[in-house]
Structure 1
Amino acid sequence: MNEHHPAPRPGVPDEQDTGAAGRALTVADVLALPVLAAGQPRVVTGGGCLDRPVRWVHITELTDPASFLKGHELVLTTGMPLPDSAADVRRYVDELADVGAAALVIELVRRYHRPPDALVHACEARGLPLITLAEDVNFLEVTQVVHTLILGNQTDAMRRGQRIHEAFTALTLRGAGAQDVVRAASEMSGRTVVLENLAHQALICEPSGATVEEALTDWERRSRATPPGGHPGPPGAERWLVTPVEYQGERWGRVVMLPARTEGPPFGPEDTVLLERTAMALTVARLIHATPWERTAQQGALRDLAGQRHHSPEDARARCAALGLPTDDSRFLAIVVDLRDGDLRDGDFANDGFGNDGSGDGDVRDGSLRDGGAGGAEAEARLSQELRTAGIPTLIGALSPGRLGILLALRPSQPWRPVAERLARTALDLLPRAVVSVGPEVTDLADTARSFREAARVAEATPPGRPLPPDRSFHELSDVGLRHLLYALRSDTRVQEYAERQVGRLIDHDTRHGSDLLTTLRHYLDAAGNKTATARRGGLSRETVYQRLRAIERLLERDLESGEQRTELHVALLALDLLRGRVT
């Protein structure tokens, strides 16, 4: 015998609170109600089945009550009509079990004072919970209380279902993307929700009560162990709730709801409804937004890596691994392809190089490269194809408008320069004025932000059309000299003020008098202070050069024989050239 007294459930303190919000009332819930607990209920058999839902309560004194049942009823009886023969008792229990009764409750007050052995054996054989009551209980009051709770739950469920319908309808009407849909599902359910593709790669993860690392670690293996299933249900060892995302018979992936980290209520009908609506909203989002989910997912992971926006290095590794990027025993290389034909945006150097200045406005919707146009999209597609052909795991996507980021995961023995050269040539074939820059190689995924940051600084310091190094088609940090640095800083007001302070009076003098002292100063500085070379460059006599240099020293209050002061003036002229658009 499996006898025990049910412990009061913390969620069921009285008849007004079933603790079953969002799920069906169970046998355990009913036994914990004071109106039934007063009868000192004892579970004789089926103690492991007390989570069965109770759809209704049925009082019966018939020998064939099953003909009046539809399933999931809690059957109450005084035991008076129970047959005497063991065969008839088995038939009685078989009929209840066949119709799907939730449990049999028998009062041990009038006819019996202990449950008949035949009844116990029959219930054990069919797995039907058998509960005895040691004290008299008003069955009518039990039905009134339980039915009130059931009807109230049904009403609440209808209201919650309506709220789910309205929320996802609003998301669909405003053209929400997949990220917004998955986030809404997680917030409404209070559970972690994941969107995966057909290759079992986790594209979007919205954790609830857990970290990304906990949700996505070893994702592909766990996902493959969960049968696809055409209908929602928690099959497989992971006990996930799964719904396919598909359109007209074409399946695109699955949306998965993970169980709570700690012991909590199981998935209920409301969770199933919510996940089905999530799948429908994701289908609409896929039809509305042309950008593939994989591309958007890679871009999101890339931007978070470059901007160090992960909660922890462990979360970053789990997320990238779930996208198919090897995170162990790999070396990582960041490549930035600047796709703009014109100058870089003013102020780029003031932010982090990825369109993230802290305002939150740096997002590139749907992975588009706005300033790169169709050429940018084609470059991204071609580079992605190039990497797939080469068998190199990668993340690729827009870091900011007009700037494409690539993260390569290379084997320990694989040289990176041939790969970078191949990608750079592909990009330049499509967009000849693009600037391809490469950051330093790193061995830890957490250090990729540094690699991207240095690559971005190289891109910012390299003007479009700048001649390539003689041995390669990309730029790296060692290529950045003084002119490159000033180019990157040209929009900084401190640089502008410095140039004006150093040579502004000379420019004003030339403007008022029609002279050309600035050109003479430029020739003198380019000649490293050699007056003969200065005269030759300007087509002037030495005496004229001497006169002009004395005038320059007087106007600027400078000693042109001082190497330090000549350097200061030379830097000012370089900055002035860049401010005037002379970038070569």
Structure 2
Amino acid sequence: MREDPQAGPAGRSPTVADVLALPVLAGGDPRVVTGEESVDRPVRWVHITELTDPASFLKGGELVLTTGMPLPGDPAGIRRYVDELADVGAAALVIELVRRYHRPPDALVQACAARGLPLVALAKDVNFLEVTQVVHTLILGHQADAMRRTQRVHEAFTALTLRGAGPEEVLRAAAEMTGRTVVLENLVHRALVCEPGAAQASLTDWERRSRTTPGTDRAGPSGSEGWLVAPVEYQGERWGRVVMLADGPSGTAATNRGFGPEDVTVLERTAMALTIARLTGPTPWERTAHRNALRDLAEQRHRSPADARARVAALGLPAEDARFVAVLVDLPPDADTTDAEARLSEELGATGARALVGLLSPVRVGVLLALRPSLPWREAAERLSRAALDAAPGATVCVGAPADGLADVARSFREAARVAEATGRGCLLPPGRSFHERSDIGLRRLLFALRDDPRVQDYAERQLGPLLDHDARHGTGLVATLRGYLDAAGNKTAAARSAGLSRETVYQRLHTIERLLERDLESGEQRTELHVALQALDALRTHPHTGRDR
């Protein structure tokens, strides 16, 4: 929120230091004699007094102005005078050194120092009435501004709630209003959302720091770091909390600034909006947090490796001393993707696997598995794959090679995606394995992955087009004869036996094929070229989404 250099920081009353800097008081050459460390106290009113017991007329937060005329003459009386001001919570005592005193009495200095009450001496005459008018106008104007800003906060969060804003948008609004880092966490201290996104490094060592910050029943400060926290409820029970960090992101006005009433208001409205969003939102926020984290890792959208480590660790996944395996689960077209995602997450959680699980596309669930470096990764991938197939029967599971650190996770996801591109549904697997990996990609799968490339299509057409056209016009089966001949490695007798034809018939057909294609089937190189073309033709005739022939 905007700062007012004359009224002090937005959202709070002017302080003793702010008031002393005003021209109406600065002209009196003010000097802070005691309590300099407390001049950041807010000033809520100004009170002129020449009474020996002014505290009975105060409520706390007043800047007390006096000429010193009523001060008791004995040290005990001065101590009593100061004690009463300190007990009632006066902001500061300002004494004009013109009429009775030309320097502050030692007893007054000692008493104020003992109670930590700021004592300000004015070396020159000051019009106290003018001081009260200026400061009161300032305070009342500031209060009116604060009321208007509070009204805008309420209106903003009401609009967010009415349009069904999710937790990311709600926290982003709170962060923008206050210039603070705002975090949403659940009951087990997993940080699900952090705004602004540039402040992800604030999540470093999050669980430990959060566990040392006690919960509160309402918005208020807590913990050694001075966080402002507020509970978030779901169906009448506490679900988690929203946290506003004491320091804003580097370079913002919030850095090294204490919380004010407007910060509390913003956090209260944030918690309320989150509670309503939790009741109306269809997707558990944990799932959304996992989805967003997985997508950012897979697409390398983090600002820095430190941000990635902090965010992953805040979600409960080890970021150090671990190997990571990217797994893609492609679901059948008729699968309930949200249910499959939830079931897979629950099954992995029940086994104690450390993983992030989330939808990466409408038919693809991504999993990032974190393993101890000594653990055989294929065994862990097999357990995960079987859990995925239990959660979504008919799914295809593809696995990337392990990544030794988070910085390499995107590569593992890319590799898993390439395996998925080369894997049609129903592709055979080696015995004892339920997932596909890079080593499974042979010629057939490579051509399947490249089936949409015009160069592959052109190659198949150039090699086999005349034969396909002849079969289409005359109803012959020359392509099938060529396939059987090549599958028999050029053995005409074996090809004839396999097709149930006489050798003479096969010889005649092969001769026709050579003539139509202008190829020499006795050439090993040309047979290889035609074999590749047939594999490409098979890939082109396979439906890209089901892996079955058209």
Whether the TM-score (by the shorter chain) exceeds 0.5 is: yes
Instruction: Give the aligned partner of residue 469 of structure 1.
Output: 430
Deviation readout 1:225-260 (Å, 9 max, x if unpaired): 222122333332212111111246511111111123
Name the CA distance, whole Å, in 2 between partners of 1:172 and 1:18: 32
- How high is the TM-score relative to the length of structure 1? 0.86
State whether structure 2 residue 117 is matched by structure 1 residue 128: yes
The offset of 1:211, in angstroms, is 4.2
Q: Contact 2:344/2:391 (CA < 8 Å) preserved in 1?
A: no
Q: How does 1:55-134 map to 2 (within 5 A)?
A: 55-134=44-123
State whether structure 2 residue 237 is matched by structure 1 residue 240: no
Q: How does 1:325-474 map to 2 (within 5 A)?
A: 325-341=317-333, 372-373=335-336, 376-474=337-435
Larger mean CA deviation between 403-412 and 262-271 belongs to 262-271
Q: Contact 1:332/1:442 (CA < 8 Å) preserved in 2?
A: yes
Deviation readout 1:446-499 (Å, 9 max, x if unpaired): 212222222222222222122332121222111111111222222333333332
Instruction: Give the aligned partner of residue 286 of structure 2.
Output: 294
Deviation readout 1:133-170 (Å, 9 max, x if unpaired): 00111222222222222222222212221222222112
Name the CA distance, whole Å, in 2 between partners of 1:545 and 1:527: 13
Deviation readout 1:298-355 (Å, 9 max, x if unpaired): 22212211222211222111111111112222222222221124xxxxxxxxxxxxxx
Name the CA distance, whole Å, in 2 between partners of 1:430 and 1:264: 49
The offset of 1:22, in angstroms, is 3.0
- Give the counterpart letter for 1:338 in structure 2: D
Instruction: Give the aligned partner of residue 229 of structure 1.
Output: 216
Instruction: Give the aligned partner of residue 355 of structure 1.
Output: none
Instruction: Give the aligned partner of residue 212 of structure 1.
Output: 200
State whether structure 2 residue 13 is matched by structure 1 residue 21: no
Q: Contact 2:230/2:267 (CA < 8 Å) preserved in 1?
A: yes
Name the CA distance, whole Å, in 1 between partners of 2:80 and 2:235: 48
Larger mean CA deviation between 315-324 and 442-451 belongs to 442-451
- Give the counterpart letter for 2:466 in structure 1: R
1:309 alignment partner, one of 301, 315, 320: 301
Name the CA distance, whole Å, in 2 between partners of 1:149 and 1:389: 61
Aligned to 2:403, the other structure's residue is in SS state: coil
From the superposition, tell whether residues 300 and 512 of structure 1 become closer, same or farther in structure 2 (CA, over 3 Å): same
Q: Contact 1:12/1:33 (CA < 8 Å) preserved in 2?
A: no
Moved beyond 4 Å, runs of 4+? none
Name the CA distance, whole Å, in 2 between partners of 1:558 and 1:547: 15
The offset of 1:53, in angstroms, is 0.7
Instruction: Give the aligned partner of residue 368 of structure 1.
Output: none
Instruction: Give the aligned partner of residue 252 of structure 1.
Output: 239
Q: Contact 1:12/1:32 (CA < 8 Å) preserved in 2?
A: no
Name the CA distance, whole Å, in 2 between partners of 1:29 and 1:134: 19
- Give the counterpart letter for 1:246 in structure 2: E
The offset of 1:378, in angstroms, is 4.0
The offset of 1:107, in angstroms, is 0.5
Q: Contact 2:294/2:356 (CA < 8 Å) preserved in 1?
A: yes
Matched residues, number: 538
The offset of 1:286, in angstroms, is 1.0
Q: CA RMSD in A?
A: 2.3
> What are structure 2's unaligned runs of at least 5 residues?
none
Instruction: Give the aligned partner of residue 577 of structure 1.
Output: 538
From the superposition, tell whether residues 72 and 447 of structure 1 become closer, same or farther in structure 2 (CA, over 3 Å): same
Name the CA distance, whole Å, in 1 between partners of 2:497 and 2:347: 53
Name the CA distance, whole Å, in 2 between partners of 1:462 and 1:378: 24
1:490 alignment partner, one of 441, 451, 468: 451
From the superposition, tell whether residues 145 and 554 of structure 1 become closer, same or farther in structure 2 (CA, over 3 Å): farther
The offset of 1:131, in angstroms, is 0.6
Name the CA distance, whole Å, in 2 between partners of 1:247 and 1:102: 42
- Give the counterpart letter for 2:16 in structure 1: V
- Give the counterpart letter for 1:135 in structure 2: K
- Give the counterpart letter for 1:68 in structure 2: F
Name the CA distance, whole Å, in 2 between partners of 1:273 and 1:319: 27
Deviation readout 1:347-388 (Å, 9 max, x if unpaired): xxxxxxxxxxxxxxxxxxxxxxxx741xx4444344333333
Name the CA distance, whole Å, in 2 between partners of 1:22 and 1:494: 65
Name the CA distance, whole Å, in 1 between partners of 2:217 and 2:391: 44
Name the CA distance, whole Å, in 2 between partners of 1:264 and 1:386: 45
Aligned to 1:234, the other structure's residue is in SS state: strand
State whether structure 2 residue 483 is matched by structure 1 residue 522: yes
Instruction: Give the aligned partner of residue 265 of structure 1.
Output: 257
Q: Contact 1:372/1:401 (CA < 8 Å) preserved in 2?
A: no
Q: Contact 2:423/2:448 (CA < 8 Å) preserved in 1?
A: yes
Q: Contact 2:35/2:119 (CA < 8 Å) preserved in 1?
A: yes
Instruction: Give the aligned partner of residue 344 of structure 1.
Output: none
Q: Contact 1:12/1:29 (CA < 8 Å) preserved in 2?
A: no
1:281 alignment partner, one of 265, 273, 279: 273
- How high is the TM-score relative to the length of structure 2? 0.91
- Give the counterpart letter for 1:50 in structure 2: V
- Give the counterpart letter for 2:515 in structure 1: R
Instruction: Give the aligned partner of residue 322 of structure 1.
Output: 314
Name the CA distance, whole Å, in 2 between partners of 1:118 and 1:392: 70
Q: Percent identity?
A: 73
Name the CA distance, whole Å, in 2 between partners of 1:162 and 1:576: 68
> What are structure 1's unaligned runs of at least 5 residues?
1-10, 342-370
- Give the counterpart letter for 1:403 in structure 2: R
Instruction: Give the aligned partner of residue 174 of structure 2.
Output: 185
- Give the counterpart letter for 2:398 in structure 1: S
Deviation readout 1:380-414 (Å, 9 max, x if unpaired): 34433333333232211112222122222222332
Name the CA distance, whole Å, in 2 between partners of 1:429 and 1:132: 80
